Amino acid sequence: MKTKEKISIDEFDGKRFQIRLVEPKDNKKAVLTHYLHNIHNGVSKHYKNDALNVLKEYVQYKELDENISLVAEEAIQQLLFEVENVPFPTPKNYKFQFIDLFAGIGGFRLAMQNLGGKCVFTSEWDKEAQKTYRANFGEIPFGDITKPQVKKYIPDNFDVLCAGFPCQAFSIAGKRGGFDDTRGTLFFDVAEIIKKHKPKTIFLENVKGLRSHDKGKTLETILNVLRNDLDYFVPEPQIINAKEFGVPQNSERICIVGFRKNYLGVSLSGRALRSNLFVRSSQKGFPLQSLTQIAA
């Protein structure tokens, strides 16, 4: 006689279940939890087919290999409760959608959620960071963002791209580094995503040393790509210390924000632009605080 049991996302890591999978396991839990997190909005359709295929495989495995009776709809409800019953849930009445690249344990996400944002995609390759991220938000990040099979899951029409990408030098062929000169670095992957999806706002952060890295050429190339190749309005980057905004940590980071010019809908020449910058405590995942900057 078949028995019923409670299930969990953790069971998708079971060795016997993994043996039955034809495709790599890395994206399976990410697809499923992203689908569940977006099940009440239109973004869910972006993940639906692959997520339901994962669930179907799992139900078949439980039936055939473990003699467990399991209905897909019942499994969805159990898993949905699991991913929503977390310390830092998505705001019910969110105001904007964002993606979280190089997510760590979720510092950017926590801040954006506090400001009314809804995360629709996240990527982080470190397995231990993924575990903490899941404990915080109920969602498993996708893995290596340089892989096409990961990038294909980024949905369209999100508002803000957040990325705390690593600092890497570029092989600059010309006097002013451009998009092609960034190939082979993680910034190139960020720029490629911006070029394809054209979010309204981009928010990048990095170590303070980015300003002087490679005698300033690295930052100059990043700004040139964002401003000229990708056509974003980017004020001068600011170095901000988290301790100045109520966070118990002396952490200086450089923040780069950009705005799609046709989204602003105004001429920026000779006018002041009021924009929001967000301060993030790197590594620790503390909430961001918002501040206002006037960029001439």
Catalytic residue set: 167
Give the DSSP letter of residue 85.
Answer: S
Across the strands, what pairs with 294? 274
CA distance 253 to 243: 11
Tokens of 115: 């400001």
Return the closest-CA partner of residue 36 out of 23, 48, 26: 48
Distance (Å, whole) CA 23 – CA 26: 9
Q: How many CA atoms lie within 13 A of 207 on its CB side?
A: 9
User: Cα-flanking dihedrals φ and ψ of residue 117, to 5°?
Assistant: -95, 155
Q: List residues bridging with 292 in a β-sheet.
A: 276
Which position has the token pair 């019923």?
4
Of 195, 199, 188, whose CA–CA distance to 258 is shortest? Answer: 199
Cβ contacts of 160 within 8 Å, gap of 6 or more: 96, 97, 98, 99, 112, 117, 199, 200, 201, 202, 203
Contacts of 43 (CB under 8 A, 6+ apart): 97, 120, 155
Q: What is d(CA 55, CA 47) in angstroms, rounded to the nearest whole number? A: 12
What's the rounded Cα separation, in Å, for the pair 62 and 59?
A: 5
Q: Which residue has the tokens 């503390």?
A: 286
